[in-house]
Amino acid sequence: MSTSETGADVPLEDVSAIRAFNRFYTHRVGVVKPGMLDSPWSLTEVRILYELRHRSRVEALDLRRDLDMDAGQLSRVLTRLQRNGLVARSPSSADRRRQVVELTEEGKEAAETLDDRANEQVVGLVSHLPEGDRERLIEAMGTVRRLFGEPRPRHGADHHAAAAEPTQGHDGAAPVTSPPSYSEAVLREPRPGDLGWVVERHGALYADEYGWDTSFEAWVARLIADYAQASDPSAQRLWIAELDGLRAGCVACTREDEQTARLRLFLVEPTARGHGVGSLLMRRCLDFARSSGYRRMVLSTYSVLAAARRVYEGSGFRLASSQPERVFGRDLTAQVWEREL
C-alpha cells in the first residue's frame, strides 16, 4: 500500500478520502462562494462578527489568539469592518497599549442577520433528516472534532472525582493549575440518567468547594423536576456538554415570562475549566433564547462565584441587583444579572 511522500504512515487513499470530504462539505455550506451567507463579507469577517456578537467587548489580542490569526491579517480585517461602520476599536482601560473591539449598533444588526441566515442554512441542510439521523450526524461530527484534536491525556479514571460547577447561571469557579489539553466540547440533548447527574454534580461540587449543605442539592432537584415536567421544548431546553465522550457541563434555558428567558443550571466540571466549555454553553443558551423570541435573559447567582461573574460580563450580562441572604447553610450575597437579546 502506497504512503504519502512525507514519509508519514498514512495511505494516499486515506488522504484522498479526507480531501474529498473537505470538498464535499465546503461546497454544501457555501464556503467557496465570494460572500458568506449571501452577504458582502468573507468567511473570516463573518466569523469575527459572530465572535463579537456573542462575547460583547473583547481585546484584539484575545480575538487573534482564539481565532489563530496573524496580527496583520486581523488588523486589516478589523480596519475594513470599522470602515464599514460595523465595529469600533478603543484602548483598553487596563492597558492602553491594547485595543478593545466591539460591535456598533449597525454591526449588531448585521451579525444578527448573519446568525439568522446561518441557522436557516443549517435547517435547510438537515430538515429532511429524521431525529435519529440528526443525532447520528451530530455524534459523527463530535467524533471528527475529537479525532482531529491535538493528542491529549484522557480524563481521569474516576469521572466523579472531578467535580462540577455552578447553577442558576454560575460557571467554573476554582482555577485549575496546568489543565490537560482536550478536544473541543460538543453539546447534546439530555439522555436517560443525565438529569440525575446534573443534581448529583451540583450537590457534590458545592459541598466540596463552598461548603453548601444538602438544601442546595434539594433545590437543584426541584429545578430539574420542574424542567422534566414542562412540555414545551420551544420555550425551554437543557444541554449537556461532553469532552472525549464524558460529561463536562450543562446549562438550561427556561421561561420566566413571554419576553424573558432565565439561564439556569450552568455547570462546568473542574477538569474541563479553561477549555471554552462555559463559553460554548453560554452561547448555545443565548442563541436558543433569541431564536425562541425572548427579548431579554436573566440569571441568579451569588457573589462568591467570581469566575462565573467573568463569564457573564464577557457574555454581555450586567448586574441588576444584589442583596444578602442566609441560604444553603451560608451567609451569601445573592445577585441578579440580566441582558437584552
Report the CATH number that the domain containing residue 77 is assigned in CATH. 1.10.10.10
Q: How does pLDDT run across 249-295, given as a tens digit for each residue? A: 999 999 999 999 999 999 998 888 877 888 889 999 999 999 899 99
Structural domain includes residue 255:
yes
- Complete edge-to-edge strand list for the sheet that includes strand 58-59: 58-59, 99-103, 87-91
Q: Is 205 found in the same domain as 286? A: yes
- Confidence (pTM): 0.53
Q: Is 176 found in the same domain as 57? A: no
Contact 216, 237 (CB under 8 A): no
Contact 256, 222 (CB under 8 A): no
Structural domain includes residue 304:
yes
| Residue numbers of the domain that contains 292 | 158-340
Neighbours of 318 (CB within 10 A): 11
- Per-residue pLDDT at 219 exceeds 90: yes
Q: Which residue has the higher pLDDT, 114 or 243?
A: 114
Contact 313, 285 (CB under 8 A): no
- The DSSP secondary-structure symbol of 188 reads E
Cα separation, 309 vs 307, whole angstroms: 5
Structural domain includes residue 85:
yes
Contact 173, 306 (CB under 8 A): yes
Structural domain includes residue 298:
yes
What pLDDT was estimated at residue 56? Answer: 67
Structural domain includes residue 16:
no
- Per-residue pLDDT at 318 exceeds 50: yes
The number of angstroms, rounded, from the C-alpha of 122 to the middle of its chain's C-alpha atoms is 18
- Band of the pLDDT at 307, cuts 50, 70, 90? confident
Q: Is 249 found in the same domain as 100? A: no
Q: Is 167 found in the same domain as 120? A: no
Q: Is 107 found in the same domain as 208? A: no
Residue type, 103: L
Q: Is 335 found in the same domain as 211? A: yes
Q: Is 75 found in the same domain as 185? A: no
Return the CA Rg of the chain: 21
Cα separation, 215 vs 32, whole angstroms: 55
Cα separation, 243 vs 248, whole angstroms: 6
Which of 241, 285, 246, 278 shows the shortest CA–CA distance to 262? 285
Q: How far apart are the first and last CA of the chain?
A: 56
Average pLDDT on 81-106 reads 89
Domain count, the chain: 2
Residue type, 138: I
Q: How does pLDDT run across 70-91, given as a tens digit for each residue? A: 888 999 999 999 999 999 999 8
Question: Which of 92-96, 128-132, 191-195, 274-278 shows the lowest per-residue confidence on average (mean pLDDT)?
Answer: 92-96
- Per-residue pLDDT at 220 exceeds 90: yes
- Three cell numbers written together for 111: 451579525
Q: Is 162 found in the same domain as 122? A: no
Q: Is 319 found in the same domain as 240? A: yes
What pLDDT was estimated at residue 217? Answer: 96
194-224 in b/e form (b: 16+ CB < 10 A) is: bbebbbebbbebbbebbebeeebbebbbebb
> Percent of the chain, pLDDT > 70?
86
Q: How does pLDDT run across 130-158, given as a tens digit for each residue? A: 888 888 888 787 777 767 765 443 333 33
What pLDDT was estimated at residue 86? Answer: 93
254-263 in b/e form (b: 16+ CB < 10 A) is: bbeeeeebbb
What pLDDT was estimated at residue 61? Answer: 87
Structural domain includes residue 254:
yes
Residue that has been written with the C-alpha cell 464556503 in this structure: 31
**Which residues does residue 296 pair with via DSSP β-bridges, in sequence order?**
260, 340
Residue 183: which CATH number?
A: 3.40.630.30
What pLDDT was estimated at residue 288? Answer: 92
Q: How does pLDDT run across 13-68, given as a tens digit for each residue? A: 888 888 888 888 888 887 777 778 888 888 889 989 988 887 767 888 888 888 88
Neighbours of 175 (CB within 10 A): 11
